Every structure is written in C-alpha cells, then in structure tokens.
C-alpha cells in the first residue's frame, strides 16, 4: 500500500498512525497538495490528501473511508472503531468533533498563512477559531481514561491536539485543557505517533 | 427526532431525504448558521449543520455520523449503505467524491458571495472549483443505472448536483454531464426530494 500525503496534515497522520497500530506496512508518498497540485489531481480527483493506493491499484480517497476499509480488513476484534451499537455512535460523535475541529482550525490557519494578507478577513478567522475551539472544549469535557485501549477517537483527537499546538500554540497553552494535554502526552509517547511526528511543518506562506 | 438545519445545505438535505426514504418521521428546526450562530453553537459545539436531536435528547452531529446511525437503526436489509465488503468500499468512494465536491464548490460559493468583495482571492476560487469539478467529472464517469435502488451514493450525489446547479449554474449547464443530469432528474422526481427542495435558497451576501 502507498499512503499519499504529508504528516503535517492531521488527516494523513491519523491514517498513518492507524496503519502502524494495526501492523499494516505501507510506503509513503510525500507529494504536496501545494507543490504538486496537478499530480495530486491524478491520484485523487478532488485534489486532497490522504489517498491510499491499494496493492491492486485501487485508490481510496478520504481519510474516513480509508479508516473504514482498514477496520473492515482487520475484523471486528482489532478494529479501531466499534462496528455497531452505542459505542459506535459515541465514537463517531467524538470523531466528528475532532475532525470538525481540525477543519475549522485548519481554515483559520490557511487564512492566516496561505492567503495573501490583503485578502484576509479577520471576522472569518474569528468564526473558524470559535468553531474549532468549541470542538476542543467539548472534547476536553470527555473522560479519556489513561488505561483505555488506543482507538480511533483517541488517535484522531490526539492528531487534532498536536495540529493546534503546532499551528496555533496560543489557542492551547499547556494546562488550559489538562485532559487533552494528558491524552496527547500518552499518545505522542507511542512509537506510531513518534514515527509520524510532523517535525518539518511548513505551510507555504504568502506575503 | 428533530433535524436542525436548512435544506439549502446539501449535508442537511441528504439527511432529510434519507430520513424520508427510511420512513423515519422528524421535526425540522430551520435555524440558520448565519443568523443564529450562538444558538447553533449550543446544539453543536462546532456550530455546524446538520444536527439530529434524538428523542432521548442525545444530539448527533455531522451528516456522515447521522447517516451511519440511521443505517444501524433500520438494519442491514434497509440500510442505504452496504454494511461491509466491496460494495461498502465502492459506495464510500462515491460518497467521498460527492461530499468533497460539495465542500469545494461550497468553499467557492462562500468566497464569491459571503466574503466581503475586498477580501476575495480569485486563485482560491479557481482552485476550489477545479477540485469540486474534479469530483463531478469522476462521478459523471460512473454508470448510475436508472433501475438501481435508491441508496446513499445516489442521494448524496443528487444533492451535490442540485447544489452546484443552484449556486453555480455555469459549472453544470444541462447536457455537459448527461449521466448526472439523468440521475438528478430521476431523484428530484421522488417525493423525498420534492419535499426537501431548497426553493428559497438564500446565502447572506456581502458587498
């Protein structure tokens, strides 16, 4: 399998971590949505990351669809998301909050860094940050017991926390969200997280 | 159940149509993400639509999570998405294309209509339209047989087509995407689509 996309995208990173947690080897194609947009469109018609190219050449697009396939392929005992019932509904709620938070904080980051400064709209940044931090606050209210098994809500939420601390550190100073800080520390200490740490974070910046 | 959100959002509409196809009655709360942002944040911490408020007060957020719950509640025979196997993977691919198309065309619509004109960035509109129309072209390449049972890829794709034709008619003139035109006509003739037709489409516009 080939995972397309850089780990500075939390959507790519959650797939990479899930592959490693499940013991599924992959090659890593780090083409960039900014630098290689035309090449990206050939892999994924929507020009997004991640994509996962299966060994038979089939291309899965969208991290949620990829994670669903991985869970199906390893079976219900090892799946990172419950396959049914109340547990699944609760897990999907946490994942919707975490992915919504990534999308909204991501939109504020794009507005601050990628968009030419003359075209920035402060009200939009404020709105997106309010939405993203609404998700963060809702996730902080969850228990996140330290002894719990690693699963998809924990992976995705830890990817959100790392992304916010990396791109917008003023929003999540150490101590303001103590449960999420603890979850993040536990997760980032794991080998699957260390191997996918986006150490070279670099969004192209505009003047 | 109470469905929160207006039908001019294709994410709300696909949930409304799915509820009707499955014969699940609901009340409709049409508060707006623009007019009632603070009220919206109380229902959904990310301030997004749709939300689905269950009869016991539990609030589901995110249309994919809501649709997953509906499928689980009606069982595998009536579910709008296959619960496993190749059929599920293929269906999730189509849905990823359709939702990606909605998100990207939606981003171009927001940029053209909602954002103050001084803050618009033509390159961004062009990029989002290229991504959204990449999804449309990939969906046009699918067969969409007329006799097939209504399912979630058909519902979501028809909602995408209606949304593009409503907001950006120059992108999908009648005849350019004949298979999607035919799918849209078949779907929009159904009572579930007619009852959720966004006749009063109105995004707040900026100068």
| pLDDT tens-place string over residues B94-139 | 999 999 999 999 999 999 999 999 999 999 999 999 999 999 999 9
What is the C-alpha separation between A37 and A35, in angstroms, rounded? 6
- Beta-sheet pairing, A51-53 with A59-61: antiparallel
Portions of chain B given CATH number 1.20.1050.10: 85-194
Q: Choose the weakest-confidence range: A7-11, A39-43, B95-99, B199-203.
A: B199-203
Residue with tokens 């049409």: B30
- Which of B45, B52, B117 to mutate against chain A (most A CBs within 10 Å)? B45
Question: Which two tokens mark A176?
Answer: 């303001």
Question: Which two tokens mark A60?
Answer: 């899965």
Over residues B11-32, the mean pLDDT reads: 95
Contacts of B101 in chain A (CB under 8 A): 46
CATH of the domain spanning B85-194, picked from 1.20.1050.10, 1.10.150.240, 3.20.80.10, 1.10.287.1770: 1.20.1050.10
Q: How sure is the predictor about A203, in pLDDT bands with cuts at 50, 70 and 90?
A: low
CATH, domain range B2-74: 3.40.30.10
Contacts of B100 in chain A (CB under 8 A): 46, 48, 61-62
Cα distances (angstroms) measured from residue B86 to each of A69, B81, B154: 9, 11, 17
What is the C-alpha separation between B185 and B194, in angstroms, rounded? 11
Put simply, the answer to whether B47 touches A88 (Cβ < 8 Å) is no
| 3-class SS letters over chain B | CEEECCCCCHHHHHHHHHHHHCCCCCEEECCCCCCCHHHHHHHCCCCCCCEEECCCCCEEECHHHHHHHHHHHHCCCCCCCCCCHHHHHHHHHHHHHHHHHHHHHHHHHHHHHHCCHHHCCHHHHHHHHHHHHHHHHHHHCCCCCCCCCCCHHHHHHHHHHHHHHHHCHHHCCCCCCHHHHHHHHHHHCCHHHHCCCCCCCCCCCCC
Put simply, the answer to whether A119 touches B121 (Cβ < 8 Å) is yes
Residue with tokens 């087509």: B161
ipTM of the complex: 0.94
pLDDT at A161: 98
- pLDDT of B47-87, one tens digit each? 999 999 999 999 999 999 999 999 999 999 999 999 999 99
Among B residues 67-86, those touching chain A with beta carbons less than 8 Å apart = 68-69, 72, 84-85
Inter-axis angle of helices B85-109 and B152-167, to 10 degrees?
A: 10
pLDDT at B37: 82
> Which among B131, B144, B78 has a CA at the least distance from the CA of B101?
B131
| 3-class SS letters over B54-104 | CCCCCEEECHHHHHHHHHHHHCCCCCCCCCCHHHHHHHHHHHHHHHHHHHH
Centre a 10 Å sphere on the Cβ of residue A154 and count the other Cβ atoms it contains.
21
Contacts of B121 in chain A (CB under 8 A): 115-116, 119
Q: Is the dihedral of CA B54, B93, A159, A106 positive or negative?
A: negative
Portions of chain B given CATH number 3.40.30.10: 2-74
What is the C-alpha separation between B107 and B113, in angstroms, rounded? 10
Average pLDDT, chain A: 94
Residues near A37 by Cβ (< 8 Å), separated by ≥ 6?
A: A47, B127
């Amino acid at each position: 399998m080939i995972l397309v996309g850089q780990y500075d995208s939390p959507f790519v990173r959650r797939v990479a971590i899930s592959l490693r947690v499940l013991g599924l080897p992959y090659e890593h194609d780090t083409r960039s949505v900014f630098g290689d947009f035309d090449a990206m469109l050939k892999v994924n018609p929507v020009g997004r990351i991640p994509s996962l190219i299966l060994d038979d050449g089939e291309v899965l697009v969208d991290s949620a669809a990829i994670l669903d396939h991985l869970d199906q392929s390893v079976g219900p005992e090892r799946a990172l998301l419950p396959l049914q019932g109340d547990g699944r509904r609760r897990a999907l709620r946490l994942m919707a909050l975490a992915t919504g938070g990534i999308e909204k904080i991501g939109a504020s980051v794009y507005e601050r860094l990628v968009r030419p400064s003359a075209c920035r709209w402060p009200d939009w940044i404020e709105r997106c940050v309010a939405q993203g931090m609404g998700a963060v606050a809702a996730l902080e209210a969850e228990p996140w017991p330290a002894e719990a098994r690693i699963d998809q809500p924990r992976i995705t939420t830890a990817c959100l926390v790392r992304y916010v601390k990396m791109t917008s550190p003023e929003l999540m100073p150490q101590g303001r969200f103590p449960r999420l800080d603890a979850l993040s520390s536990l997760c980032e200490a794991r080998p699957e997280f260390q191997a996918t740490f986006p150490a070279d974070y670099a969004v192209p910046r505009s003047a």
